[in-house]
Each structure stands twice: as C-alpha cells, then as structure tokens.
C-alpha cells in the first residue's frame, strides 16, 4: 500500500523505528532527538507533552476518532480505514472523549433552556399558564 524508495511495499516496522518513534522522542529542554542529544550539556529528559507511540491499532483508532470529531461521516471513515462494516468502525474505531460528552450535554441543556423559555418549540410551548385561565 505504501511504497518505499525502491517501489516495493514499505516495512511498517521500519517506519515506526526510523520515523515515528524518533519524532516522538524529544528532549523537553532543547527539543533534540535522543540520537542528536549525545553532545548536549544537560541530561536527556523526555518531553511529556508529546504523545507516546501505542501501536498501529491505536493510530488507526486515533485517526477514526479525530476524523469523526472533524465532522467526517462514519461511512467515509469506514472507507478510509477499509472496514467491511460501518458498525466495526463505529464500535471499535470511533471513541468519544469526555469533552465530546460534555459538549453534547451542553448542547442538550441549551436546547432545553430554549424550550423552557417558550420559543415555540417542544413541550414548553404546550405548557398551560395558570395566569391565562382555562382557554
């Protein structure tokens, strides 16, 4: 799927070891990689703000989740991840975070407050006001 410089399939373990892990292994003080840090005047201290590599499954799951957060439809994410079933994509590869749940609840609360203010939508619009009498 991903060709190397010779046009043959890339060894994904080489990609991890030569590109991904070195990119994520940086010094918090000077931002140099561990290999470049040998002559530094301070001890290497991992930059904890960088993510840790957790494998290809986590990378695919992160891709699916981030695409979903960006508003990409589930069917499109299914195609990108090459799943046969959209249910696999939705169940195992799209994870909603606490922030997503909070945003959803805030949106619901906003809608419910809008309804209770009598904007003509939902159950609040149907409420009987005792001041109006029985009409």
pLDDT tens-digit series, residues 117-126: 665 554 444 4
How many C-beta neighbours within 10 Å does residue 104 have? 11
How does the average pLDDT of the chain come out, rounded?
85
CA 8 to chain centre: 31
The token pair at 78 is 């299914």
The answer on pLDDT for 73 being more than 90 is: yes
Question: Could you read off the pLDDT of 81-135 as tens digits, one per residue?
Answer: 999 999 999 999 998 878 888 888 889 988 888 776 665 554 444 444 555 555 4
The sign of the dihedral angle between the CA atoms of 111, 112, 118, 120 is: positive
The answer on pLDDT for 6 being more than 50 is: yes
The answer on pLDDT for 29 being more than 50 is: yes
**Nearest alpha carbon to residue 49 among 80, 24, 70, 18:** 24
**Nearest alpha carbon to residue 81 among 96, 97, 100, 59:** 59
Percent of the chain with pLDDT over 70: 84
pTM, two decimals, is 0.62
What angle, rounded to 10 degrees, do the helices at 74-81 and 56-69 form? 160
Higher per-residue pLDDT: 61 or 131: 61
pLDDT computed for residue 114 by the predictor: 76
Residues 89/74, Cβ–Cβ less than 8 Å = yes
d(CA 10, CA 2): 6
CB proximity list for 95: less than 8 A, separation 6 or greater: 61, 64, 65
């Amino acid at each position: 799927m991903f060709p190397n410089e010779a046009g043959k399939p890339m060894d994904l373990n080489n990609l991890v070891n030569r590109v991904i892990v070195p990119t994520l292994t940086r010094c918090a003080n000077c931002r140099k990689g561990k290999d470049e840090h040998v002559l530094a005047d301070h001890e290497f201290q991992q930059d904890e703000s960088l993510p840790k590599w957790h494998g290809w499954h986590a990378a695919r799951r992160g891709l699916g989740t981030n695409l979903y957060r960006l508003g990409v439809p589930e069917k499109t994410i299914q195609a990108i991840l090459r799943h046969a079933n959209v249910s696999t994509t939705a169940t195992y590869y799209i994870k909603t975070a606490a922030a997503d749940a909070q945003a959803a609840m805030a949106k619901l609360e906003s809608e419910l407050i809008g309804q209770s203010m009598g904007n003509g939508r939902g159950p609040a619009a149907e409420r009987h006001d005792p001041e109006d009498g029985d009409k």
